[in-house]
Amino acid sequence: MAGWDVHTHLIPPTVLAAAQRGDYGLSVDEGFLVVDGVERLPLQKLGDPSALVQWVEEQELDGAVVSVPPALFRYDQGIEWATLVNQGLRELVTPQLRVLGHVPLRSATAAAVAAALAEEGVFSGYALGTPGYGGLDAVWKVLDSAEAFTLVHPGHSTDRRLDAFYLSNLLGNPYETGLAAAELVFNDVPARFPGIRFCLCHGGGVTGILAGRWQRGIDTARPGIEPPSLPVLETLQRFAVDDLVHDPAVVELLEATFGQVLAGSDWPFPMGSDRLDRGRAVAAEVLTRPLGKGANL
């Protein structure tokens, strides 16, 4: 068994078609998908599932787990956007490509959408951005019941100080992932909903190095903290992370901090990995099998 890459991206074909029509604030310009006139996603590989399959074969893997690029989370677009994205994700599924469903987290229908996706036997879990996780217990309940693999991927930081030096990615992405992890830890989500199989992208961002500081805040009763059910390090053992940190010494920290370290490339983005660890890829095969009674892959 060769394993799976848990962190890859494609633009669903339904989104590409909408862009060609000029719908949903999308357009195509000189080989780029333009989102709301701001974000520009290169189409050469992101729009080509066969290129991802080629990557899988080059890495000698069984397959890749696909989520949409974070520019397409667009939680302000609601249920219609989620419907479009999820239909396109369905069309991407093959024996070598598994997909993570999109949940409209800011919509009143978020839990119902998540529940419906879990029953199809098509989706291998969910990919969540980082729009803030307050008030989502109804969603967590669905994901817990489904024992869903749930990839936490950072969205774009709004801090304008990060505009220089590519810091929106180099620093903003790890911060956003750490913020999401902190919300989950301090809201006691992993203890209250132990069936959810959270996986934090980019090695969990800043989470690993801050775990002791978070515990110190709890131990000294800092303002606003209601102690979670479990110590921070015990809670983090309930998370998986991918190994996309570009530093073997940091991988050692991840292995000491989190329950599992999985292989994730962030294909096809330039900040991703060129070569995956086959050993860390194997564990993802079971974790990312399609949800639901109708699963057939």
Query: Rounded CA gap, 214 and 231, in Å?
Result: 10
Question: Alpha carbon of 53 to those of 13, 68, 153, 170: distances in Å?
Answer: 16, 16, 22, 28
pLDDT at 293: 58
Task: Please state whether beta strands 149-152 and 197-200 pair in parallel, antiparallel, or not at all (unpaired).
Answer: parallel
Residue 296 and residue 98 in contact, taking contact as beta carbons nearer than 8 Å: no
Nearest to 73 by CA among 23, 4, 124, 9: 9
Residue 35 and residue 41 in contact, taking contact as beta carbons nearer than 8 Å: yes
pLDDT at 38: 87
pLDDT at 296: 45
**Tokens in use for 58?**
């080059």
pLDDT at 297: 40
166-184 tens-digit pLDDT:
999 999 999 999 999 999 9
pLDDT at 1: 61
* Contact partners, residue 15, CB within 8 Å, separation at least 6: 24, 26, 33, 68, 72, 84, 85, 88
Domain residue extents for the chain: 4-288
Query: Rounded CA gap, 146 and 74, in Å?
Result: 24
Backbone Cα Rg of the chain: 18
128-143 tens-digit pLDDT:
999 999 999 999 999 9
pLDDT at 2: 81
pLDDT at 215: 98
Superfamily of domain 4-288: Metal-dependent hydrolases (3.20.20.140)
Nearest to 18 by CA among 8, 10, 27: 27
pLDDT at 172: 95
Query: Rounded CA gap, 81 and 100, in Å?
Result: 15
How confident is the chain (297 residues) per 10-residue block, as mean pLDDT? 92 96 94 91 94 96 97 94 98 98 96 97 97 95 98 93 95 96 98 98 98 98 95 98 96 97 97 92 93 61
